[in-house]
Amino acid sequence: MEPVKIGVIGCGVIGSRHLSIASDSESLELVAAADLVESYRERAAERFNPPNVYSNDVDLLDDPEVEAVVLAFPTQYRTEVALRAFERGKHVLLEKPIAMNVDEVKQLIDARGDLVSGCCSSRNRFNKAARLVTELITSGGLGELRTVHCRALRGCGKQPDSPRPAWRLTKALNGGGILVNWGCYDIDYLLGITGWQLKPKTVFAQTWTVPPVFESHIAPGSDAETHYTAHVRCEDGTVINLERGEFLASHSHSDWEIIGSEGALRLRMGDGNPNNIVHSQTTTVDGVSSNPLEDGEDTEGPHYNDPLIDFAAAIRGNRQPITGLEQALVVQQITDAVYASADSGSAVDIAD
């Protein structure tokens, strides 16, 4: 296919990853990069040699060579830039989290029109294991889903020698803490491998900030959560249990499981090896037997290995990405409901 002419706005850590992918991919042509920070622009120009380097988003968006853009800078500013991009007829891929709140996602959906737009929260659904699990679940291999479970906890390490990034745990810049930094991956993954068939309705949740003993491990003034847990009841009675934390007074461990009426899966987000997934199957006579997921024929392709590559294919294929704005809205609805429930101490309903 003809390469998509891409511009990357934001040349920091994650922006550099997009720049690298765009430089190496046959489906993309890197034509421009932009950043407010001069040192980031200089590094991008030296490492990736884009034909045009700009000091702001407006100049890049006005570049007629740019067909599509990746927005890789703090969440607080992304919706505004995305709306400007849509006004100029550019396709838009947003880094995660998709936005600061549900209202911003709805603005993006209203402004998108016929353009292609999605979110990078889909990163963990491109490996072979995720594809096989998705095919098994969506074809009814587990029967009716009952519980979808993620528990991923990280104990605190040694006190860091260098300062922690301030935006990462600052509500005003990032929209939240661990829930938007990692929880968006968890929610996207679980909803995605279950075929986006689950319709979350009610959320009961709690959040906590960093334990006092580890306050020196994060940036001064941080006000966002480092630990959250949520109980999500869906329209059909399926329950999603979510918990993730960092800087915890606990050992690190991870537990992922999906249980249906006819089978179950134990797995781990990010592990692409099907042999590491335990598939529990049932018969009336023999009960439950558990074995590694059979690594048979792969699901039909083509397959992509990154949100940016999928974004390019979506543009040329006249479709939306694997996580489009409508799917990202569901992730954000759960996110907003978690915060609202934690603040109120009560269960929160998700509006249709």
Task: Match 């659904």 to its residue by tokens.
Answer: 125
Mean predicted confidence (pLDDT) in 254-282 = 94
Q: Is residue 327 part of a domain?
A: no
- Domains identified in the chain, total number: 2
pLDDT over 90 (residue 70): yes
pTM: 0.94
Specify which residues 7 forms β-bridges with.
Answer: 32, 69
- The more confidently predicted of residues 296 and 112 is 112
Q: Residue 178: in which H helix or E strand, if any?
A: helix 178-178
- At residue 297, the pLDDT reads 66
Residues 146 and 225 in one domain: yes
**Cα 272 to Cα 90, 102, 125, 276, distances in angstroms:** 33, 31, 9, 8
Residues 67 and 173 in one domain: no
pLDDT over 70 (residue 301): no
- At residue 210, the pLDDT reads 93
On whether the CB atoms of residues 155 and 213 are closer than 8 A, the answer is no
Ranking 191-205, 243-257, 294-308, 310-324 by mean pLDDT, the lowest is: 294-308
Percentage of the chain exceeding pLDDT 90? 86
Question: Please, what's the b/e burial string for 111-127 (b: 16 or more CB within 10 A of its CB; e: otherwise)?
Answer: bbeeebbbbbbbbbbbb
SS3 (DSSP) at 224 = coil
**Cα 21 to Cα 8, 30, 185, 319, distances in angstroms:** 11, 9, 20, 21
- At residue 163, the pLDDT reads 73
Q: Is residue 33 part of a domain?
A: yes
Residues 169 and 100 in one domain: no
Closest CA to 120 of 69, 175, 55: 69
Query: Where does residue 88 fall: left (phi above 0), alpha (psi -120 to 50 degrees), or beta otherwise?
Result: alpha
Q: Is residue 325 part of a domain?
A: no
Is residue 153 very low, low, confident or very high in pLDDT (cuts 50, 70, 90)?
very high
Residues 152 and 238 in one domain: yes
- How far is residue 242's CA from residue 205's CA, in Å, rounded to a whole number? 9
Q: Which residues are within 8 A (CB) of 170 and not within 5 positions of it... i.e. 6 or more apart?
A: 219, 221, 222, 223, 224
Residues 16 and 104 in one domain: yes
| Strand ranges inside the chain, DSSP E | 4-9, 28-34, 52-54, 68-71, 91-94, 117-119, 145-155, 200-208, 227-234, 239-248, 253-260, 263-267, 278-283, 287-292, 348-349
The widest CA-to-CA distance across the chain, in whole angstroms, is: 69
On whether the CB atoms of residues 43 and 23 are closer than 8 A, the answer is no
Structure confidence by residue, pLDDT tens digits, 99-145 = 999 999 999 999 999 999 999 999 999 999 999 999 999 999 999 99
Residues 151 and 294 in one domain: yes
Structure confidence by residue, pLDDT tens digits, 34-54 = 999 999 999 999 999 999 999
pLDDT over 90 (residue 170): no
Mean predicted confidence (pLDDT) in 7-19 = 96
Instruction: Output the domain CATH number for residue 218.
Output: 3.30.360.10
Residues 88 and 143 in one domain: no
Residues 337 and 232 in one domain: yes
Instruction: Output the domain CATH number for residue 105.
Output: 3.40.50.720
On whether the CB atoms of residues 32 and 10 are closer than 8 A, the answer is no
Residue range of the domain that includes 152: 124-301+332-349
Task: Match 């803490």 to its residue by tokens.
Answer: 177
Within 13 Å of residue 158, how many CA atoms lie on the same side as its CB? 3
Residues 170 and 147 in one domain: yes
Q: Is residue 93 part of a domain?
A: yes
Residues 28 and 144 in one domain: no
pLDDT over 90 (residue 299): no
Closest CA to 198 of 263, 132, 147: 147
**Cα 3 to Cα 9, 17, 253, 263, 308, distances in angstroms:** 19, 18, 42, 43, 12
Task: Match 């968890």 to its residue by tokens.
Answer: 186
Residues 220 and 179 in one domain: yes
Is residue 296 very low, low, confident or very high in pLDDT (cuts 50, 70, 90)?
low
Is residue 298 very low, low, confident or very high in pLDDT (cuts 50, 70, 90)?
low
- At residue 165, the pLDDT reads 81
Q: Is residue 135 part of a domain?
A: yes
Residues 148 and 112 in one domain: no
Which amino acid appears at position 191 of this protein? L
pLDDT over 80 (residue 242): yes
The overall average pLDDT reported for the chain is 94
On whether the CB atoms of residues 63 and 53 are closer than 8 A, the answer is no
The structure tokens listed for 313 are 């294919």
What is the 8-class DSSP label of residue 303?
-
- At residue 294, the pLDDT reads 76
